[in-house]
Amino acid sequence: MPTLINEKLLVRVSYDEMEAYVTLPAPEEEEADYTVSDLMGALREKGVSTGIDQKRLSDIIMARRYDQEFLVARGKRPEDGVDGYYDYNFNTKLDKKPKVLPDGSVDYWSVNSIESVVAGQVIAIYHPAIEGKDGITVKGKPILAKRGREQLPIKGKGFERMNDNLTYTASIDGKIEKQNDRIVILPVHEIFGNADLGGGNINFRGDVIVHGNVESGVCIKATGTITIDGVAEACELEAAKDIILRSGMLGGNKGLVKTKGNITAKFFEFTKIECEGNIQADVLMDCTVYCQGNVIMDGARGSIIGGVVSAVRGIEVSSLGNDAEKKTEVYVGAGVDVYSRLRVLEKKIEATRENLEKIENGLRQFELLEKERGVSYAKDARRMSLLRIKIRDTATLANDEAEARKLKALSDASRGACVSVLKDVFPGVIVSIDDMKFTLKNKGRSVEFYKMPDKINTRPCYRDVD
405: left (phi over 0), alpha (psi -120 to 50) or beta: alpha
What range defines the domain where residue 365 resides?
337-409
Both 444 and 343 in a single domain?
A: no
> Looking at 26, 47, 74, which one is the last position of a domain?
74
Cα–chain center distance at 281: 23
How far from 249 is each of 109, 189, 207, CA to CA, in Å?
15, 21, 19
Does residue 7 surpass a pLDDT of 50? no
Tell me, what's the pLDDT at 101?
Answer: 72
Instruction: Find the mean pLDDT for residues 263-276.
Output: 95
Tell me, what's the pLDDT at 96?
Answer: 61
Summarised one tens digit per residue, pLDDT across range 324-369 is 999 999 999 887 677 778 888 889 999 999 999 999 998 888 888 8
Tell me, what's the pLDDT at 81?
Answer: 93
Both 101 and 54 in a single domain?
A: no
Both 182 and 299 in a single domain?
A: no
3-state class (DSSP) for residue 248: coil
Q: What is the identity of the amino acid at 69?
A: E
The DSSP annotation for 279-322 comes to EEEEEEEEEEEEESSEEEE-STT-EEEEEEEEESSEEEESEES-
- Is residue 434 in a domain? yes
Instruction: Find the mean pLDDT for residues 248-273.
Output: 95
Tell me, what's the pLDDT at 72?
Answer: 93
| % residues pLDDT > 70 (the chain) | 93
Mean of the per-residue pLDDT values for the chain?
88
Does residue 75 surpass a pLDDT of 60? yes
Does residue 427 surpass a pLDDT of 90? yes
Report d(CA 203, CA 195) in Å as an integer.
13
- Least confident range from 125-139, 228-242, 351-365, 374-388: namely 374-388
Report d(CA 174, CA 189) in Å as an integer.
9
- Is residue 387 in a domain? yes
Both 148 and 180 in a single domain?
A: yes
- Is residue 128 in a domain? yes
Instruction: Find the mean pLDDT for residues 413-432.
Output: 90
Does residue 223 surpass a pLDDT of 90? no
Tell me, what's the pLDDT at 113?
Answer: 56
> Looking at 133, 165, 186, which one is the last position of a domain?
186
Summarised one tens digit per residue, pLDDT across range 98-148 is 777 776 666 665 565 567 788 899 999 999 999 999 999 999 999 999 999
Binned at pLDDT 50, 70 and 90, residue 6 comes out as very low
Number of domains in the chain: 4
- Is residue 245 in a domain? no
CATH code (residue 283): 2.160.20
Comparing 223 with 95, the larger pLDDT belongs to: 223
Both 52 and 68 in a single domain?
A: yes
Tell me, what's the pLDDT at 110?
Answer: 56
Tell me, what's the pLDDT at 115?
Answer: 76
Both 182 and 311 in a single domain?
A: no
Both 402 and 454 in a single domain?
A: no
The DSSP annotation for 451-464 comes to E-SSSEEEEE----
3-state class (DSSP) for residue 206: coil
Tell me, what's the pLDDT at 35?
Answer: 87
- Is residue 141 in a domain? yes
Instruction: Find the mean pLDDT for residues 242-268.
Output: 94
Both 402 and 418 in a single domain?
A: no
Does residue 291 surpass a pLDDT of 70? yes
Instruction: Find the mean pLDDT for residues 253-274.
Output: 95
Does residue 279 surpass a pLDDT of 90? yes
Both 27 and 146 in a single domain?
A: no
Both 313 and 182 in a single domain?
A: no
| % residues pLDDT > 90 (the chain) | 56
Summarised one tens digit per residue, pLDDT across range 146-178 is 999 999 999 999 999 999 999 999 998 878 888
Both 307 and 451 in a single domain?
A: yes
- Is residue 291 in a domain? yes
Tell me, what's the pLDDT at 107?
Answer: 67
> Looking at 19, 43, 74, which one is the last position of a domain?
74
Instruction: Find the mean pLDDT for residues 358-387.
Output: 86
Both 182 and 96 in a single domain?
A: yes
- Is residue 59 in a domain? yes
Report d(CA 211, CA 198) in Å as an integer.
16
- Is residue 392 in a domain? yes
